[in-house]
Structure 1
Amino acid sequence: MQKIWSISGRSIAVSALALALTACQSMRGPEPVVKASIPSSYTNASGTSVAEQGYKNFFADQRLLQVLDLALTNNRDLRIAALNIQRAQQQYQITENNQLPTIGASGSVLRQVTPTRDPNNPYSSYNVGLGVTAYELDFWGRVRSLKDNALDTYLATSSARDATQIALISQVAQAWLNHAFANANLKLAEQTLKAQLESYNLNKKRFDVGIDSEIPVRQAQISVETARNDVANYKTQVAQAKNLLNLLVGETVPENLLPAQRVTHITNTNSIGAGLPSDLLNNRPDVRAAEYKLSAAGANIGAAKARLFPTISLTGSAGYASTDLNNLFKSGNFAWSIGPSLDLPIFDWGTRRANIKISKTDQEIALSDYEKSIQSAFREVNDALAVRQNIGDRLAAQRRLVDATNTTYKLSNARFRAGIDSYLTVLDAQRSAYGAEQGLLLLEQANLNNQVELYKTLGGGVKANTTDEVEKQPSSSDVKYKKVDQK
């Protein structure tokens, strides 16, 4: 018995040494160089990035904040993204467990006849024990590379969930604004319809008493029916805006949280800063997700290269065996076995090397996706900044246009009532004033949407409060180079 345990002890020591060498080798190559042509600064932008603010600090209206909280709780896309994180997390746990031996209990009863014993007298044998089944000794880092790939995939999925949250907050805010301005346009159309009806009634009276011909009456009627069509159209838009908001939120939004008129401001921030380009790479979760996918592709190369080398697996068992069940656990029936196995395909017709080339191609694709995600992010920010640069001048000009057309309408209407001008002048001035008011509403909505868009494109919306901390988890490639630098 002492000899058995001595041999067993040496075997365990050899196994422990093999386990210690498991993570010493890695077939992973150098990480590719990213060439995304990142600008050194934004055009016409300065200050701290507004993305540093939590959405509860950025948005000013308490009704909108309550709608956002409902959406973050009930939205199905965000729920799916969270479930994808759970799935990736469990997948990572599986690959991490693959680095450890699988130990299982076994037991068997075998009824048999052998030539060495009486052929006419079958006998039974009993076995019970613990065993390690085909545990791969990861000399070349294949299992470790698969684990790194699973980790990067999990981190990419987590970043994708953050990107979904940012997009959801932006969509809900803009849908909420759309409902507000659809209501504002509806009220403007109703006011215009009322004015058109008054003009129609006036023209009809003038026609009835013989002052004017029927033409002004019909012109006024055309304006009335056009206004009625606009009223019906905006009622439809209000209903559709509410339906979209309910879909994004995941449930029916209470009426007291819906804006019944146009919103004058959506944020308490007076100056919306863009920060530095380097801030964008840290704040945009979609860029981080692409970075994690690039790292995962690098880990796949390591796993594919490791397949060029032998796969060494260790199997072992220890337990009791006996032909008599009553004596199974007695001294002398203890049995054990341990030994490695080697798997090295000799002729695979280039399959393993083809898999390496596929992995390298996948890495090049991931690199291009990463570079494109960076370029797209900067383009989205610059587009939002371009709108921001000129929206103030456009609003000022549009407000002056509204004042001018309203004044023209009042003057032309007064001259018509005094009998100086025809109704055609009034009609033209009224249409111009109505169009200018509609244009002002569109620009005011575009201004507020632009503030939301800029907040989103800069990466704002991951944090609820400005004081919250968002920690970026290092990818497997980051950990690799960190270890190299420490050495």
Structure 2
Amino acid sequence: MRPYLLAASTALLLALVGCASSGGLHPEGQLTEPSSLHGEKALADIKVSPAAWPVTDWWTSLGDDQLSALINEGLKGNPDLATADARARQAAAQAGAADAARAPTVNAGASVAGARLPSNLIPAPIGGKFTWTPYGYASFNWDLDLWGGKRASWEAALGKARAAEVDAKAARILVSTNIARAYVQLGYAFAQQDVAKAELDRSTQSRKLTGQRVAAGVDSQLQLKQDDGLVASAQQQVAVADHAVETARTQLAMLLGQGPDRGLSIERPHPLNALAIEAPDNLPADLVGRRADLIAARWRVEAASHGITAAKAEFMPNVTLGAMAGLASGGAKNLFSAQSLFYEVAPAISLPIFDGGRRRANLADVDAEYDIAVAQYNKVLVEAFNGIADDLTGLGSLDTQIAAEQRAMDAASQAYDLAQQRYKAGVGSYLEALTVRQQLLVAQQRMAALVAQRVDLSVQLIQALGGGFNVAPTDMPNHDQS
């Protein structure tokens, strides 16, 4: 027997040496620490306040009840939210399936079959006779999961489910900010419409006066044709402004999940309140808990980490327990007798020896998936912090521009008042007053654009600061890199 034992031992040793190995495979991605991102110099002139984080219903601070109603409507009817919710439910179901795979399975079945075996193959009394064979069984199987691979697969699926749940919340923030921004554009479209109509009225009056002057021999046809061009241009700008109002209303209707007729019932927005320019006092560290997309990205890193653990467990020996018992008989009469009982107990151990590199390829794949998740998280973090800085400095620049434009508009308004006074006093002409009014309308148009940009950028800042999202510390992923 010794040669056989020696041969068996040698074969076992060679098998163990040739076992599939995960050696040399590991992820390379490293999470960026928020403290490594510096913005002290870029934000040196920005006021810092602990209360700068947006509240959940931040839109109420803009001071328009119609906007609040539209956002509440959109949060109920937007189709993108239904999609995000369905994806969250799907991911939760997949996590449930992964959890169920860890538990033992018990199955039962029964059948009855009738057959006649040929007597020239099997002699009587079995052959040559049609008989019924009832059969029933119950089975039990359990993978012991000694290395935690199935648990890691469940935790990976759970991490993806939590990411999808946070994605659904992020979708609501996106919808609310998109509605607010579309509402700002609607207000600006109305302001453009006012200026365009005023310019059409001004150019029409100017053309009328020029026509009178041409008839009196004071002005030439050249001046009249120039005024004709200005009237036509003003008419075109009115058409552009009218279409901008319609487009903004349609955009809002689409965000509400409604048809274009819903947009027609939206009234002209009231002037929206300007929001203060402030930054939270602990950027970017606290940003990680305030941005839904960052939290979702962290959960995907967590899920990928558990995926690596599950892939590594595939390289280890596995033990399963199995058992089956049942009844089978050549006829229904003897089915429940002791002679019809059968059973088996089948514990098993498996050891991966050679698989053509399948397990190593799978581990390399999940390592890359982890690196991708880390890179995506780092990208979101860097873009979020830089976006906040850009929005804050942009708002500061717009405030400076608005102040300068206000002075220009005040000067144009005063010039127009003086031109009217000169006309009424008989010193200047009404045509001169209309020419000065054109400068005032241009200033008003620039001011309307700057104010709309200011409010729109403040909404973008709210979105960059998380849109009122705030995660509890217990809901944050506790990542430990594999």
Displacement after TM superposition at 1:29 (Å): 8.6
Note if contact 2:138-2:325 (Cα within 8 Å) is conserved in structure 1: yes
> Which secondary structure does the structure 2 equivalent of 1:127 belong to?
strand
> Which secondary structure does the structure 2 equivalent of 1:131 belong to?
strand
Q: Find the counterpart in structure 2 of residue 445 from structure 1.
A: 452
> Which secondary structure does the structure 2 equivalent of 1:139 belong to?
coil
Q: Find the counterpart in structure 2 of residue 196 from structure 1.
A: 203
Partners of 1:413 and 1:226 lie apart in 2 by 25
Does 1:174 find its partner at 2:173?
no
Q: Single out whichever of 371-380 and 205-214 deviates more from structure 2.
A: 205-214
Q: Find the counterpart in structure 2 of residue 38 from structure 1.
A: 37
Q: Single out whichever of 154-163 and 346-355 deviates more from structure 2.
A: 346-355
> CA 1:29/1:101 → structure 2, altered by over 3 Å: closer, same or farther?
farther
Partners of 2:267 and 2:193 lie apart in 1 by 13
Does 1:386 find its partner at 2:383?
no
Displacement after TM superposition at 1:218 (Å): 2.5
> CA 1:144/1:190 → structure 2, altered by over 3 Å: closer, same or farther?
same
Q: Find the counterpart in structure 1 of residue 306 from structure 2.
A: 299
Partners of 1:257 and 1:452 lie apart in 2 by 24
Work out which of the residue numbers 344, 355, 365 in structure 2 matches 1:358: 365
Work out which of the residue numbers 110, 119, 128 in structure 1 matches 2:127: 119
Q: Find the counterpart in structure 2 of residue 24 from structure 1.
A: none
Does 1:321 find its partner at 2:328?
yes
Work out which of the residue numbers 245, 258, 274 in structure 2 matches 1:238: 245
Partners of 1:408 and 1:230 lie apart in 2 by 25
Partners of 1:61 and 1:440 lie apart in 2 by 20
Q: Single out whichever of 30-39 and 137-146 deviates more from structure 2.
A: 30-39
> Which secondary structure does the structure 1 equivalent of 2:243 belong to?
helix
Displacement after TM superposition at 1:179 (Å): 0.9
Work out which of the residue numbers 224, 228, 239 in structure 1 matches 2:235: 228
Displacement after TM superposition at 1:276 (Å): 1.9
> CA 1:255/1:297 → structure 2, altered by over 3 Å: closer, same or farther?
closer
Note if contact 2:211-2:224 (Cα within 8 Å) is conserved in structure 1: yes
The Cα offsets for residues 282-333 of structure 1, whole Å up to 9 and x where unpaired, read as 0101011111111111111111111112333333223333323133234554
Work out which of the residue numbers 48, 53, 68 in structure 2 matches 1:50: 53
| Residue type of the alignment partner of 1:39 | H
How many residue pairs get aligned? The number is 443
Q: Find the counterpart in structure 2 of residue 405 from structure 1.
A: 412
Question: Which structure 1 segments of 5+ residues have no match?
Answer: 1-27, 464-468, 482-487
Partners of 1:368 and 1:397 lie apart in 2 by 43
TM-score of the pair, normalised by structure 2: 0.83
Displacement after TM superposition at 1:161 (Å): 1.5
Write out aligned runs for 1:131-150 (5 A). Answer: 131-133=139-141, 135-150=142-157
> Which secondary structure does the structure 2 equivalent of 1:51 belong to?
coil
Displacement after TM superposition at 1:100 (Å): 0.9
| Residue type of the alignment partner of 1:160 | D
Work out which of the residue numbers 63, 67, 71 in structure 1 matches 2:66: 63
| Residue type of the alignment partner of 2:139 | G
Aligned CA-pair RMSD: 3.1
| Residue type of the alignment partner of 2:211 | K
Note if contact 1:103-1:132 (Cα within 8 Å) is conserved in structure 2: yes
Q: Find the counterpart in structure 1 of residue 81 from structure 2.
A: 78
> CA 1:46/1:256 → structure 2, altered by over 3 Å: closer, same or farther?
farther
The Cα offsets for residues 65-93 of structure 1, whole Å up to 9 and x where unpaired, read as 11011111111111101110011111111
Work out which of the residue numbers 185, 207, 227 in structure 1 matches 2:192: 185
TM-score of the pair, normalised by structure 1: 0.82
Does 1:274 find its partner at 2:277?
no
Q: Find the counterpart in structure 1 of residue 20 from structure 2.
A: none
> Which secondary structure does the structure 2 equivalent of 1:228 belong to?
helix
| Residue type of the alignment partner of 1:35 | T
Work out which of the residue numbers 247, 250, 258 in structure 2 matches 1:251: 258
Partners of 1:165 and 1:229 lie apart in 2 by 38
Displacement after TM superposition at 1:241 (Å): 0.8
> CA 1:274/1:474 → structure 2, altered by over 3 Å: closer, same or farther?
closer
Partners of 2:457 and 2:374 lie apart in 1 by 31
Note if contact 1:78-1:165 (Cα within 8 Å) is conserved in structure 2: yes
Displacement after TM superposition at 1:392 (Å): 2.0
Note if contact 2:110-2:136 (Cα within 8 Å) is conserved in structure 1: yes
